[in-house]
Structure 1
Amino acid sequence: MFLSFSSRNRLRRAFVQVLAASVMATSTLLFAGNDTAESRGYLTPSVTGEGFHFSHRDWEIACDNTRTCRAAGYSPQDEDLKVSVLLSRVAGPGTPVLGELKIGQYGDDPVVDKLPPEFDLAMQINGGHVATIRVRDLHAQMSAEVVSALLTTLVRSSRIAFVHGADRWDLSDRGATAALLKMDEFQGRIGTPGALVRSGKQSESSVRPAVAIPVVHAPRLPPPQPGDDTFTIRHGTALLAALRESSDCSAISDKWPGTPHLEATRLSNTQMLVSSLCWLGAYNSSTASWIVQTTPPFRPQLVNDQASDVSAGSMSARQKGRGLGDCWSLDDWIWNGEAFVHTHSSTTGMCRLMEPGGAWNLPVWLTRVDEQ
């Protein structure tokens, strides 16, 4: 079922608010076009049920449309020293779980700032030494031994810490079982020997296989025609009136100070893509785009009003979860000759002050773009 623009906008705003609280929503929040645009084929729906995001307490999981899953856990909210781990698993029988670790560094930190480029962390579970992890530039790849020990303890109530000298980074296990169970469920592993939470003797043949990444073909845009560079100037008043009828963007309303700046790019012999600032927030903004006919009455179809950048044949949305910029949502679309196709959707994880820009890449929708 497609979401209307008004419904989608409410969900999108809720998504940003949830990011700030570090409790992110499921794939129903992912961007989709309005009913009119979709029915006319101008904007494809985003994730069609294959990818999803889930969070609980200090853990989250994102699974993408290839069925690869990534679970991230963090330090408790009130800890000064921040650490995060990422557990990734490709779909299919017998695939291993890969682990990474990051030490958080957001701004000046007297403890983290004094760490050498390379150092050892002692992994402790309930106060006992389990393994040593080599850290380079605050990042480490976990060995199979470390991942196995971590997975075993995460589904119990345990104290997990990473220690260097007198400094200690605590990893929360609150929410880990729920996140790992979601991974098993999505990949069809429940009841099999390879399940992380509810293992059993069921054959691994029941595990869902990996799915090939879809390919999106992006043809070259037609060359500009004479008069394209003055299209918005020549048709400014009539074009703006038509756009206002199809959108509630505050930046093109008659109450907005000044004259809205419109930009146009040719998509075909009879179609132009017209873009304008849509709204401004405290730390985010968006651009709206319409596909219009090249002659009056233009018949504008609103394609997207949440992009942060629009260029020839492509759109992208980069939105902060909060003003600190430690968590982001990212989406991309590209023109395939008939519609703007959703080619990427991800977040950078919870808002936990791990690092500017966010700690991880957690996609729920991936494609490979073939630019022709």
Structure 2
Amino acid sequence: MKRLFTAFPALGLSLLAASWNANGAELPRLRFSYGDWEIACDNTRTCRAAGYDSENSSDAGNNDGAGQRRMSVLLTRKAGPDTLVHAELQIGTYEDTQPAAPLPRTLSLTMTIDGKEHGKVAVTGDNPTVDLAPGQTQALLAALTRVSKIAWTDGPFTWRLSDAGAAAVLLKMDAFQGRVGTPGALVRKGARLETSVLAPLPEPVVRVPALDDRAIDLPAPRLAALRQALKAPADTCTEPDNIDGTPGDIAVWRLTGGKLLASLPCWRAAYNEGAAYWVVNARPPYAPRLVTTAGNGYASGIIGSSLKGRGLGDCFSFDEWTWDGKVFVHSSEGDTGDCRLVAPGGAWVLPVMVTAVQPARPTNRP
């Protein structure tokens, strides 16, 4: 099941992208999926590729009669010459998909590729995600470039990893990191020097000034004037009022540099809702500048957005916008992978935008 994230546009992004581009070229990113595999590469050139059990249960079933067992593998590789791939295995913990017979608290899983054993990994109920050993990782990477049968087994319990789409995803990783044709490429190896591989990029730094985190109350006349000034796109903010039809409440926080942050309800869906956030002048004229219509929380200088991909809650998208004293910088973006019932909240964190946020101590006004 591919992610089903509803696309409510974060309309302030063009403004924020301009602030990034003023300091340099547009930052690289990649999001791609094919078959049972997907990849996300962020602005530091780190790539994360996730694979799952087959969505065709007849291909992914196990021999204990309990049906398809959910699982996923994550391959992480940082940019730069001679970097290794880090591999993690996660067995499914989403309660609605667990078999009637509970699993043992501790599992000693034997990794097999085309029937050949490649050592064991230990999985416990407290830690369903484990690292693969370097040798297991190398065997797995080789298997993913061809048609292979990959499984982890403990007695009657089996988890099978699909290879469908893996080669295409790994080739995307090689291309994004400039590895195609080098000895370290995962798919298309060659003799081109490893020194030609793209170097990692540093995380952009966002420094948050000292802020008072408490919402503030504006006098009624100023609040009414602010409401008149806040204009959200009608095609996006379809439900700015409360469920009972009364006007949605305005929340206001004090920023720095004579600015305020103001928020109003914007839209509601079956299992998500979003609010619009504007930066405004502390005194009229308010001159509002829209940051996003997809926010659902603010604290410590950061507007956050976390949206379910579907009601089952097995996949989310996430964004953050951080106040740097002048504008809200788009400081985080990504999702938790495909909607595959692997784990509550999603199997992995797959960012396409990362930053180093340096918070200041909040100041509390008397």
TM superposition score normalised by structure 2: 0.85
Residue-by-residue CA offset, 1:220-251 (whole Å, 9 max, x unaligned): 13799xxx943163323332222136665233
Residue-by-residue CA offset, 1:46-98 (whole Å, 9 max, x unaligned): x9341221111100111111111111100011432011111111111111111
Number of residue equivalences:
346
Looking at structure 1, the residues matched to 17 and 350 of structure 2 have their Cα atoms a distance apart, in angstroms, of: 30
Decide whether the 8 Å contact of 1:277 with 1:288 is kept in 2.
Answer: yes
**Residues 92-107 of structure 1: matches in 2 within 5 Å?**
92-107=80-95
- In structure 1, what residue type is equivalent to 2:157? D
Cα drift, residue 101 of structure 1: 0.2
Cα drift, residue 127 of structure 1: 2.8
SS for the counterpart of 2:218 is helix
SS for the counterpart of 1:250 is coil
Residue-by-residue CA offset, 1:300-357 (whole Å, 9 max, x unaligned): 2212111111235220000111111101111111110100012211211110000100
- In structure 1, what residue type is equivalent to 2:12? G
- In structure 1, what residue type is equivalent to 2:191? K
Report percent identity of matched pairs. Answer: 40
Looking at structure 2, the residues matched to 254 and 240 of structure 1 have their Cα atoms a distance apart, in angstroms, of: 15
Looking at structure 2, the residues matched to 275 and 253 of structure 1 have their Cα atoms a distance apart, in angstroms, of: 13
| Aligned residue number for residue 63 of structure 1 | 41
SS for the counterpart of 2:231 is helix
Decide whether the 8 Å contact of 2:315 with 2:337 is kept in 1.
Answer: yes
- In structure 2, what residue type is equivalent to 1:156? R
**Residues 245-264 of structure 1: matches in 2 within 5 Å?**
248-252=236-240, 257-264=245-252
Looking at structure 1, the residues matched to 213 and 132 of structure 2 have their Cα atoms a distance apart, in angstroms, of: 50
Mean Cα deviation higher: 110-119 or 63-72 = 110-119
SS for the counterpart of 1:123 is strand
2:78 is the counterpart of 1:120 = no
Looking at structure 2, the residues matched to 166 and 42 of structure 1 have their Cα atoms a distance apart, in angstroms, of: 53
Looking at structure 2, the residues matched to 303 and 195 of structure 1 have their Cα atoms a distance apart, in angstroms, of: 40
- Which structure dedicates a bigger proportion of its chain to helix? 1
Looking at structure 2, the residues matched to 113 and 305 of structure 1 have their Cα atoms a distance apart, in angstroms, of: 45
Decide whether the 8 Å contact of 2:151 with 2:160 is kept in 1.
Answer: yes
2:350 is the counterpart of 1:366 = no
Residue-by-residue CA offset, 1:137-165 (whole Å, 9 max, x unaligned): 32221011111111111111111121111
Looking at structure 2, the residues matched to 349 and 110 of structure 1 have their Cα atoms a distance apart, in angstroms, of: 20
Task: Choose the corresponding residue for 1:342, options 310, 330, 354.
Answer: 330
| Aligned residue number for residue 10 of structure 1 | none
Looking at structure 2, the residues matched to 127 and 135 of structure 1 have their Cα atoms a distance apart, in angstroms, of: 21
Looking at structure 2, the residues matched to 307 and 327 of structure 1 have their Cα atoms a distance apart, in angstroms, of: 17
**Residues 1-372 of structure 1: matches in 2 within 5 Å?**
19-20=3-4, 33=12, 37-38=15-16, 48-79=26-57, 80-108=68-96, 111=99, 114-136=102-124, 137-221=127-211, 229-231=216-218, 233-244=220-231, 248-252=236-240, 257-268=245-256, 270-372=258-360
Cα drift, residue 19 of structure 1: 1.4
TM superposition score normalised by structure 1: 0.84
Residue-by-residue CA offset, 1:118-138 (whole Å, 9 max, x unaligned): 321122222333332222332
Any unmatched runs of 5+ in structure 2? Answer: 58-67, 361-366
